Structures are given as structure tokens and as C-alpha cells.
């Protein structure tokens, strides 16, 4: 189980992020609205992770499974906000065409002059394994003779920390780029 103090602090900050995002007046163009929607979804994934970890007993497998959708919705929001062309936005919203994560990460990395693709994709298989009941997720249930999760304190603490950092990225983008000035 994750340390109660860390979880309480994370939930308090998640509440602050939710308050800062929901009901905020943003620019009314399609790009801004799409970005804000992605970050609002990210914020809900973040809150859900913390709620699941707060249950008694903690629903750790489900919390870990939400990390990839949290990262994906944030990456998509950043891509829509900073990189996507107007044509790509129209295609995304009207035809359902979406760019794959690897392409979005490469485009974001190029725009920011960092290797965003390498930084995230070195962990992508682990994110996928937790989301899709892969080996990393199942292995956590095979460590004792009982059917129970066995996540380490450090794994749980890292989930809380990482999910908070990703949620903060969305908030900062909304505050600095999308809000009505």
C-alpha cells in the first residue's frame, strides 16, 4: 500500500488541478477546445488512479492500467496544442483519423528539440503490459500462494508521482496556452 501521507497530498493536489481546469474559460477555437478536452480527460484518469489506490483494499491493478491512457491523453493534447496542423485537427475531429503515438511523440520532440519518443517509448511496453493484462501486470499476482496483488511500495509511490507529473503538464498547458487572457 502506498504511504497514506503521499496519497493524501496527491489527492489534494489532484483536487486543486480539477478545480483549476473545470469551468475554466478557454479560447473558443477548435484547437483549444480539443486540447482542453484531452487534458480534462487526463485529469480524470489521474484522479481515478488516486481514488483506486485509496480504496480498501486498494485497486492497484486498475490504477496501473490507467497510467497509459493518462499518458496518451496528455500526449494527444500536447500534440493538438503545439504541433498539429489545422488540416490534421480537422481530420482528427471529423473523420476520426488519428495519428499514432510514436508519430505524435516524434513531432512533439522535434518541436521541443528533445527525444520525446525515446524517453517515452523505452517504457511503452511496460505501460501496455499494465493496461492490457500483460506479463508485468500478471506477475504482480504470482508472488505468493494467495491470489493478491504484490506491488512494491516504490512501484506504488512511483505511480502516484508519475501520474501527478503528467497531470501537471496538462494543467500548465491549459494555464499558459489555452486560457482566455
Contact of 74 with 49, CB cutoff 8 Å:
no
Look at residue 181 in the predicted model and tell me its pLDDT. Answer: 62
| Partners of 26 in beta bridges | 179
pLDDT digits (tens, 9 = 90+) for 9-49: 999 999 999 998 888 888 889 999 999 999 999 999 999 99
Model confidence at 1, in pLDDT bands (50, 70, 90)? low
Could you please report the per-residue DSSP string of the chain? ---HHHHHHHHHHHHHHHHHHTT--B--SHHHHHHHHHHHHHHHHHHHHHHHHHSSS--HHHHHHTHHHHHHHHHHHHHHHHT--HHHHHHHHHT-----HHHHHHHHHHHHTS-HHHHHHTTHHHHHHHHTT-HHHHHTTSSSSSS-----HHHHHHHHHHHHHHHHHHHHHIIIIIB--
Look at residue 117 in the predicted model and tell me its pLDDT. Answer: 67
pLDDT digits (tens, 9 = 90+) for 111-149: 888 776 677 777 888 889 899 999 889 998 998 888 889
pLDDT digits (tens, 9 = 90+) for 54-99: 999 999 999 999 999 999 999 999 999 999 999 999 888 888 767 7
Amino acid at each position: 500500500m502506498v504511504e497514506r501521507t503521499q496519497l493524501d497530498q496527491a489527492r489534494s493536489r489532484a483536487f486543486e488541478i480539477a478545480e483549476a481546469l473545470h469551468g475554466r474559460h478557454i479560447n473558443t477555437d477548435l484547437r483549444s477546445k480539443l486540447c482542453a478536452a484531452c487534458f480534462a480527460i487526463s485529469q480524470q484518469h489521474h484522479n481515478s488512479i488516486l481514488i483506486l489506490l485509496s480504496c480498501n483494499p486498494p485497486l492497484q491493478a486498475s490504477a496501473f492500467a490507467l497510467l497509459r491512457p493518462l499518458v496518451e491523453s496528455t500526449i494527444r493534447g500536447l500534440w493538438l496544442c503545439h504541433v498539429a496542423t489545422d488540416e490534421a485537427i480537422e481530420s482528427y475531429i471529423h473523420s476520426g483519423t488519428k495519428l499514432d503515438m510514436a508519430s505524435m511523440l516524434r513531432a512533439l520532440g522535434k518541436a521541443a528539440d528533445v527525444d520525446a519518443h525515446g524517453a517515452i517509448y523505452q517504457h511503452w511496453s511496460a505501460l501496455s503490459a499494465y493496461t492490457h493484462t500483460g506479463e508485468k501486470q500478471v506477475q504482480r499476482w504470482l508472488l505468493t500462494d494467495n491470489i493478491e496483488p504484490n506491488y512494491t511500495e516504490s512501484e506504488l509511490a512511483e505511480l502516484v508521482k508519475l501520474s501527478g507529473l503528467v497531470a501537471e503538464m496538462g494543467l500548465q498547458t491549459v494555464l499558459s496556452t489555452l486560457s482566455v487572457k
